[in-house]
Amino acid sequence: MRETIFALSSGFGTSAVAVFRLSGPASFEVISSLTRQPLPLPRVASVRTLRDRDDQPLDQALVLVFEAGASFTGEESAEIQCHGGRAVVQRLSDELAAQPSCRMAEPGEFTRRAFENGRMDLAMIEGLGDLISADTEHQRRQAMRLMTGGLSNVAEEWRETLLECRTLLEVTIDWVDEDVPEDVMPEVARKLGGLRDALRHELRQGARTERLRTGFQVALIGPPNAGKSSLLNAIAGREAALISDIPGTTRDVLEVPYDLNGLPVIFLDTAGLRTATDAIEKLGIDRARDRATGADLRIHLRSFDTGTSEYVIEGIGATDISVWSKSDIGTGEADILLSSVTGEGVENLLQLVQTRLEAQAQGAGLLGHARQQQAVAHAMERIEHCLQRLYVDDLELCADALREASAALERLVGRIDVEDVLESVFSAFCLGK
């Protein structure tokens, strides 16, 4: 029999209320044993006194029970909303662990059970994971779209089109020795062409969709002493929400995550670009160039006292922004004149960054995860393969290619071949989810 799992689903630390969840066949039994009172009606919050093994009152809590088939995991489940003091939480945790057939859940285990019981597919689960780690409004909206089936529903439509085309091909194959009543090839080609274009469109949006999830990278570049670090401090020092530092920040490229009115942004402070005087500096400069080239937007700084960079960064786009910094000591030609000392121009710069990034974010699609992009790329490649051979090749091979394309889309939502991806998907989940 399946074990019953429990976890503190609200975060750690003192709070007014803490939420424990239970899932598995002994959930109701555990609630009965903790309350020694009749079970509440399913899905009706009821106040209960919780008691420890010595029958001493432990806390007063709200208790909810969910019957199998009508819960997040699909299993018999319960929720205890107790007081959030550390001692209460610790004691209740101990009492739950002492219950027979009850153990602490692994991170993501509730969601894993929801998946195994067919309550959510893999794409929705990725959306749920994104929602829990969403720091900004855009991230939250994108995650909600994924979690509520935005991608799953579209993938289902794609699969239906594939199935229709396969059926048409198979009918033709069956009629091979007789006159085919109707030439279905133009219809198959039209449908598959439309589908291929739709997949290609989604894949083209993949990079920016992923950025909307992980943060748009904005690189500050320019010669040493152009005022890059001072500008970053001026930006970070504003009252606006600054997301906590990303761990693993490299010594030479400093990453500062930032919530730009809902847009997730990572400002990169790079090494000053000049002819390196030693090997270590050269490494830093090479990395600065690479990161700047790969960034979504570059802010080029120049100042009165440093002039321009001797280095040219490849990949400079028309949308990049030029800044004349230290405007308090002198100015020149640029999109923005700015002083980190007086604060002049900082707000204008942020507005311009927002406008430029919003233009990039607008085309965001559904494929914000590399795993999803790979599955769709595989499906598209198989469809393309079929299209190229439709009139010249064995129709059975064409039908096979469509079958493989369908399988790739099933992989996308986790209907097949999930074992090797489950670990990486769920390892990112926190305890109690």
- Asked if 329 interacts with ligand GDP (CB under 6 A), we say yes
Among 159, 166, 228, 356, binds ligand GDP (CB under 6 A): 228
**Closest CB 231 distance from ligand GDP, rounded Å:** 7
φ and ψ at residue 262, rounded to 5 degrees: 100, -20
- Asked if 325 interacts with ligand GDP (CB under 6 A), we say yes
- Asked if 339 interacts with ligand GDP (CB under 6 A), we say yes
Among 78, 82, 226, 254, binds ligand GDP (CB under 6 A): 226
Q: Which of 312, 315, 309, 310 is nearest to 297 (CA)?
A: 315
Among 281, 328, 358, 381, binds ligand GDP (CB under 6 A): 328
d(Cα 296, Cα 315) in Å, to the nearest integer? 10
Nearer to ligand GDP, 234 or 375 (CB): 234
**Closest CB 280 distance from ligand GDP, rounded Å:** 16
Among 225, 249, 360, 374, binds ligand GDP (CB under 6 A): 225
Nearer to ligand GDP, 228 or 356 (CB): 228
- Candidates 165-173, 194-202, 209-217, 228-236: pick the segment binding ligand GDP (CB under 6 A): 228-236
Nearer to ligand GDP, 161 or 325 (CB): 325
- Asked if 170 interacts with ligand GDP (CB under 6 A), we say no
Nearer to ligand GDP, 24 or 227 (CB): 227
d(Cα 428, Cα 433) in Å, to the nearest integer? 11
Binding mask 253-282 for ligand GDP (x = CB under 6 A): -------------------x----------
Q: Do 263 and 357 touch, CB atoms closer than 8 A?
A: yes
d(Cα 432, Cα 33) in Å, to the nearest integer? 22
> What torsion, rounded to 10 degrees, do the Cα atoms 23, 24, 29, 33 define?
-50
Nearer to ligand GDP, 198 or 253 (CB): 253
> Which residues, in sequence order, are CB contacts of 374 under 8 Å at separation 6+?
none
Helices 27-35 & 86-98, crossing angle to 10 degrees?
Answer: 120
**Closest CB 304 distance from ligand GDP, rounded Å:** 9
Tokens of 302: 């120049």
Give the Å distances, CA to CA, from 398 to 172, 204, 391, 407. 12, 25, 10, 14
Helix and strand counts by DSSP (H, E) for the chain: 14, 12
- Asked if 205 interacts with ligand GDP (CB under 6 A), we say no
345 secondary structure, DSSP code: T
Strand 46-51 and strand 57-66: pairing? antiparallel
Q: Which of 13, 5, 174, 138 is nearest to 77 (CA)?
A: 5
Q: Do 321 and 349 touch, CB atoms closer than 8 A?
A: yes
Q: Specify the residue for token string 């400002």.
A: 267
- Asked if 326 interacts with ligand GDP (CB under 6 A), we say yes
- Asked if 341 interacts with ligand GDP (CB under 6 A), we say yes
- Candidates 198-206, 218-226, 291-299, 424-432: pick the segment binding ligand GDP (CB under 6 A): 218-226
Among 340, 372, 373, 406, binds ligand GDP (CB under 6 A): 340
Residue numbers at the binding site for ligand GDP (CB under 6 A): 222, 224-230, 272, 325-326, 328-329, 339-341
